[in-house]
Amino acid sequence: MKKYKIVLLSGDGIGPEISEVSKKVLKKLSKNHNFDIEIIEKLFGGIAYEKYGTPAPDETLDQCKKCDAVLLACVGDIKYDSLARELRPESGLLKLRSALNLFANIRPVKIRKSLLDASSLKKEIVEHVDLIVVRELIGGIYFGKPRGQITNTKIQKAFNTMVYDSAEIERITEIAIKIANQRNKKICSVDKSNVLEVSQLWRDTVLKITSKDKNISLSNMYVDNAAMQLVRDPGQFDVILTSNLFGDILSDLAAMLTGSIGMLPSASLNNSGPGVFEPVHGSAPDIAGKNIANPLAMLLSASMMLKIGLSEEEAAENLETAIDKVLSKGFRTADLADGSSEVLSCSEIGNKIIDEI
């Protein structure tokens, strides 16, 4: 029997509620698909700050480095916003990404048939959306140096540096190629090479690497046009490859095509070592503790973990089918309620999914 060790970081806000559902679902899947999964729970985010004075304690990071995969719920709360930046829960996320060298963020955006009407765009615009944003995660302007503020002058100044080297661009391009080869073999690389030197290097390097794989069809798009095209005709995209800043913005835009932030999973990966699988949404403090959160984004993240992190494809498929069955029977959490569906709590929809597995 295959044995896996995963670290579960429940974090803050709705995190513990959606993690509880995920734990039960993973246990049922492991039983049905004949593998053993040890779930090690560690403190991370605001709750870790409360106990250890840091959002990403060394003990948590060490466990994450040693396991097969990390499943993370969400972190954050308004009460931590006045802390020094490095003590805030969100800084813990950056520390975790750096500690595991997670340079590739993968965000699939797929419209589930039963939720077509939940999108703010017209049904005919979104019905064929099935795309993946591959975003570089630990380089570019968020990490570039020099950065800072100059305050001892008459007029204040602040500056950041958008920088990439070719090795950073090559490795994220290779991830995009790998993913495209499992799909329609189409990559659209998004940059701003008409204005930025760093984007010219991006474009040249992506071309150099993708041209080595004759199966891949590459197109390039400026980021302003890509934002427009994602709203005008999102069905044209398959794999979108882009840098940290542009990926941050475009992936949120693409995410909203599906209707609810409570439906979107993501994976952050390295070439070797454990990945971190987490929903796109935050800790939703406004609904925390009410048992009304949507656990599906976390379950879909668990499905990505099973598929990519643990190579348990059949279990992942089983989970996705169970989710689709529950939705097509008209069960919804409050964020997806449309008047004709039956609204269930977080734990109730979790139990329905468990019944379908």
| Residues within the interface to ligand NAD (CB under 6 A) | 14, 74-77, 90, 93, 261-262, 278, 281-287, 293-294, 297, 335
Whether omega before 295 lies within 30 degrees of 0, making that bond cis, reads no
Please report how close the Cβ of residue 265 comes to ligand NAD at its closest, in angstroms: 11
Of these residues, 62, 81, 117, 224, which one is catalytic?
224
Please report how close the Cβ of residue 262 comes to ligand NAD at its closest, in angstroms: 3
Place of tokens 């950041």: 160
Indicate if 192 belongs to the active site.
Answer: yes
Return the number of the residue (18 or 223) whose C-beta is nearest ligand NAD. Answer: 18
Contact between 197 and 219 under an 8 Å Cβ cutoff? The reply is no
Instruction: Extract the tokens encoding 275.
Output: 């990945």
d(CA 253, CA 152) in angstroms, rounded, equals 38
Indicate if 233 belongs to the active site.
Answer: no
Return the number of the residue (39 or 261) whose C-beta is nearest ligand NAD. Answer: 261
Of 306, 296, 301, residue with least CA distance to 335: 296
Indicate if 36 belongs to the active site.
Answer: no
Of these residues, 5, 24, 65, 142, which one is catalytic?
142
Indicate if 213 belongs to the active site.
Answer: no
Indicate if 4 belongs to the active site.
Answer: no
Across the strands, what pairs with 331? 342
Please report how close the Cβ of residue 330 comes to ligand NAD at its closest, in angstroms: 18
Return the number of the residue (180 or 322) whose C-beta is nearest ligand NAD. Answer: 322
Return the number of the residue (181 or 345) whose C-beta is nearest ligand NAD. Answer: 345
Return the number of the residue (73 or 218) whose C-beta is nearest ligand NAD. Answer: 73
Mark out the alpha helices in the chain (DSSP H runs): 15-32, 46-52, 58-66, 89-99, 123-126, 166-181, 197-210, 223-232, 244-255, 296-304, 313-328, 346-356
Of 325, 331, 310, residue with least CA distance to 29: 310
Measured on CA atoms in the order 226, 232, 233, 238, is the torsion positive or negative?
positive
Of these residues, 192, 238, 307, 335, which one is catalytic?
192
Instruction: Extract the tokens encoding 140.
Output: 């570019």
Please report how close the Cβ of residue 47 comes to ligand NAD at its closest, in angstroms: 12
Max Cα–Cα distance, the chain, nearest Å: 68
Please report how close the Cβ of residue 156 comes to ligand NAD at its closest, in angstroms: 26
Of these residues, 185, 186, 213, 248, which one is catalytic?
248
Instruction: Extract the tokens encoding 37.
Output: 């999964």
Q: Just list the catalytic residues.
A: 142, 192, 224, 248, 252
